[in-house]
């Protein structure tokens, strides 16, 4: 009668195998899903040491030793959602799911009504939080709160120009006048911002004072004006059309005979100050540097220009870098660090327990979670606007399904044959 039990164990094992493969096939389109496979072990009756049958042991069937999870890499599929993130390599996202800590590889994210980055189940993505664009080092749910980026007034302007060595020096006795183009050789306009985020035009004027001598290069005088600014010492406050003019010569730029700006013993910049903004913004001193300027026999022009400060910005997009850094992209061209996604790995990921909804929870078999920065210490890197597809290979599963079905049928045939033998004995 033991043959019935042997065949029954085979039926149970084949049924479990079919169930595991059915679950794999059902999740072939589940993002971040990891397939499993049933592993089996033969079974023998226990025997006292030294008393095994002389002609060997006859097995009593099979049993399922484990259902092993396979954490091989799934294919990366691009999407149109900048918050979708795929893990390329080892590691799991960490989530706060209704107060419980769970892990998973499904990177389909979105913002909820409180600005938290969440998955489809509402679990909050955990990482390094940020304040005022700087990572704090603290760990918690990632939240996007900076929908509006406050303005910052301009305090530095780096302006590199080429002043044409072939220009004619300004005639002696001609006073600088921005409305008299014969009182300067060249001018250029830069955009600066006040503390309220209002943009203003700063114009710098360049007048060739000396055409150079046998022992020295040319000398250029620089003046400036600011639109939307006024002299606070005047009787009336300024208007948006007010223009603040620098009084007298602001600086002289001395060049070598090779056309390079002399950086020692002479000025290389100006400090625009002593004005008030017409919109009521706080007064700002603007340091203008002309470092890198040249004096070649080429057209007057701007080599490069860079100013700090910016106007009010509205959050227009989000991006997540390969190292997990979450950045806000604003309408004023600025980027702002909003947090950093962390990854967690385990000594034995196969020991993790599935909790449903694409989540895993650690067990004693998996080991303790180890959290770090993507790309470091064996952790994978992140790819934004992408998701990791299920690692289920449908063609392989379908072939294995046929094999498992045959095993089930064969074990059924064993029971049928044993039943016929029993019936023969009973008919004697």
What pLDDT digit, counting tens, does each position of 149-181 carry? 999 999 999 999 999 999 999 988 888 888 999
Q: What is the pLDDT of residue 214?
A: 67
> How big is the CA angle at 415 (ends 414 and 416), to the nearest 5 degrees?
90
Q: What is the pLDDT of residue 47?
A: 61
E-strand stretches of 213-312? 219-227, 229-230, 243-245, 251-254, 269-272, 276-277, 286-289, 301-307
Q: What is the pLDDT of residue 66?
A: 87
Average pLDDT over residues 306-332: 94
Strands 313-320 and 148-149, bridge-based pairing: antiparallel
Asked whether the beta carbons of 336 and 327 are under 8 A apart, the reply is yes
Separation of alpha carbons 105 and 76, rounded Å: 12
Tokens at residue 67, please? 């259902």
CATH architecture label of 156-307:
Sandwich (2.60)
Separation of alpha carbons 242 and 227, rounded Å: 6
Taking only the tens place, the pLDDT of each residue in 187-229 is 999 999 999 999 999 999 999 988 776 678 899 999 999 999 9
Separation of alpha carbons 53 and 67, rounded Å: 33
- Rama region for 309: left / alpha / beta (φ>0; ψ in -120 to 50; rest): left
Cβ count within 10 A of residue 147? 11
Taking only the tens place, the pLDDT of each residue in 102-112 is 999 999 999 99
Is the model's pLDDT at 236 over the cut of 60? yes
Q: What is the pLDDT of residue 144?
A: 92
CATH 2.60.98.20 boundaries in the chain: 156-307
Identify the residue whose tokens are 């929908």.
147
Q: What is the pLDDT of residue 267?
A: 66
State phi, psi for 105 to the nearest 5 degrees: -120, 5
Is the model's pLDDT at 57 over the cut of 70? no
């Amino acid at each position: 009668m033991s043959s019935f039990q042997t065949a029954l164990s085979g039926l149970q094992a084949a049924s479990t195998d079919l169930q595991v493969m059915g679950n794999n096939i059902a999740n072939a389109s589940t993002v971040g899903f990891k397939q499993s496979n049933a592993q089996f072990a033969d079974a023998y009756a226990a025997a006292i040491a030294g008393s095994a049958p002389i002609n060997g042991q006859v097995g009593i069937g099979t049993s399922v030793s484990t259902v092993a999870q396979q954490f091989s890499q799934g294919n990366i599929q691009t999407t149109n959602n900048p918050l979708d993130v795929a893990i390329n390599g080892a590691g799991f996202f960490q989530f706060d799911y209704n107060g419980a800590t769970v892990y998973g590889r499904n990177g389909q994210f979105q913002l909820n009504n409180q600005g938290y980055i969440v998955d489809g189940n509402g679990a909050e993505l955990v990482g390094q939080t940020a304040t005022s664009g700087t990572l704090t080092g603290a760990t918690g749910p990632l939240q996007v709160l900076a929908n509006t980026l406050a303005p910052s007034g301009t305090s530095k302007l780096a302006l590199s120009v080429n002043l044409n060595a072939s220009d004619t020096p300004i005639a002696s006795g001609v006073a600088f006048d921005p409305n008299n183009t014969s009182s300067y050789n060249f001018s250029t306009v830069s955009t600066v911002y006040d503390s309220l985020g209002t943009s203003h035009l700063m114009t710098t004027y360049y007048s060739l004072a000396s055409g150079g001598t046998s022992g020295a290069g040319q000398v250029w005088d620089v003046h400036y004006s600011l639109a939307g600014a006024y002299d606070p010492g005047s009787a009336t406050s300024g208007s948006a059309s007010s223009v603040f003019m620098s009084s007298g010569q602001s600086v002289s730029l001395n060049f070598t005979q090779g056309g390079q700006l002399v950086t020692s013993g002479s000025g290389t910049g100006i400090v625009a100050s002593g004005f008030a903004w017409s919109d009521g913004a706080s007064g700002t001193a603007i340091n203008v540097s002309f470092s890198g300027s040249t004096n070649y026999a080429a057209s007057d022009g701007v080599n490069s220009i860079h100013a700090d400060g910016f106007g009010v910005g509205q959050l227009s997009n989000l991006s997540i870098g390969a190292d997990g850094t979450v950045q806000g992209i604003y309408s004023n061209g600025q980027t702002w660090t909003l947090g950093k996604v962390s990854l967690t790995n385990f000594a034995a990921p196969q020991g993790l327990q599935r909790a449903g909804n694409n989540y895993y929870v650690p067990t004693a078999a998996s080991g303790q979670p180890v959290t770090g920065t993507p790309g470091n210490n064996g952790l994978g890197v992140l790819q934004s606007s992408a998701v990791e597809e299920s690692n289920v290979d449908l063609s392989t599963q379908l072939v294995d399904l046929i094999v498992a079905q045959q095993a089930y049928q064969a074990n059924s045939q064993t029971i049928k044959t044993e039943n016929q033998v029993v019936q023969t004995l009973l008919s004697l």
